[in-house]
Amino acid sequence: FDFCERVDLNRVNKRVVEALIRAGAFDSLHADRATLMASVERAMSHAQSAAASAGQSGLFDSADAAASVAPQLTPARTWTLREQLAQEKTAIGFYLSGHLFDEVAAEMQRLTGRRIGTLQEAREPVMVAGVVTACRFQKGMRGLMAILTLDDKSGAIEAVAYSELVTERRDLLKEDELLVVRGKVQFDKFSNGLRINIDDCWSLEGARRRFGKAISLRVNGTAPVDDVVQVIRRHHATDGLPLVIDVERNGAASRVELGERARVVPSDDAIRMLRALALGDSVQVLFQ
């Protein structure tokens, strides 16, 4: 609010302020960028009102009456790391405060058991996950092929998908997409490095559905049951994952495995809602 009051709003408009928030320019003033973004309209209106009041203040107006009292910030759901990084890229063209893989690194380690930086040539297919940092399509002898660069912060590798898979998974083959891929790792003479020939790939949610066996979480025994039921109703799917809940109360713990009617889609939104109800960072997708 103070910033908007001090600048010339004819030069620094709403779009500029939003870009500064996306880039993290106001993090030292308020760390929650989502809340700042939700408050831009109110801040601009307040600054305009303050400027008008300052121009109309008379000689006998008291200091208190002329003083500008800033309104409260508008609460908003905190951005996930992935959302925050996407906003940074929108504003400045690259990621500044982290890596897209950071948020899922532990989960992908449980699923694949390996990182790109540790890959070696292998006769058998392996599974690995990474963020698509580059993607291009070209026609080859086997039809349309996609050439991707996958990066998981430990390293980067070229990955190639061929005609049939490109047709089936075209919507996943794009920059900034988190991909779980399965294929053979081979040495590529042209690039003088390793390459994965992909035989299948999944989005994050798709991999959770394909390889997950349950979603587990710990809750306090006093946690509202209605809140858990609400998550189940909102994200229920017959092909979702069952919930396994460890209930803790008065030093004792018990495990509750909910039935088929309580299956939940393992989406980011569902997991975020469960984390709001769980103890600590206890929400996990359990893999086969």
What digits encode the pLDDT tens for the residues 178-235?
999 999 999 988 888 999 999 999 999 999 999 999 999 988 776 667 888 899 999 9
Spans of the chain, pLDDT less than 70: 55-70, 222-224
Full-model pTM: 0.77
From CA 201, how far away is CA 210, in angstroms rounded? 11
Report strand pairing: 193-202 vs 212-220: unpaired
With a CB cutoff of 8 Å and minimum separation 6, the contacts of 93 are none
Tens digit of each residue's pLDDT (9 = 90 or more) over 82-98: 899 989 998 998 888 88
Report strand pairing: 143-151 vs 126-140: antiparallel
Say what the pLDDT of residue 280 is: 72
Task: Find out whether 175 and 153 touch, Cβ atoms under 8 Å.
Answer: no
**Would you give the distance in Å from CA 75 to the centre of its chain?**
20
Domains and CATH numbers, the chain: 2-91 (no CATH), 102-202 (2.40.50.140), 208-287 (no CATH)
Phi, psi of 29 (to 5 degrees): -90, -40
**Would you give the distance in Å from CA 282 to the centre of its chain?**
18
Say what the pLDDT of residue 116 is: 97
Query: Helix axis angle, 268-277 relative to 225-235, nearest 10°?
Result: 180
240, burial (CB in 10 Å: exposed 0-12, middle 13-18, buried 19+):
buried
Task: Find out whether 283 and 216 touch, Cβ atoms under 8 Å.
Answer: yes
From CA 99, how far away is CA 231, in angstroms rounded? 29
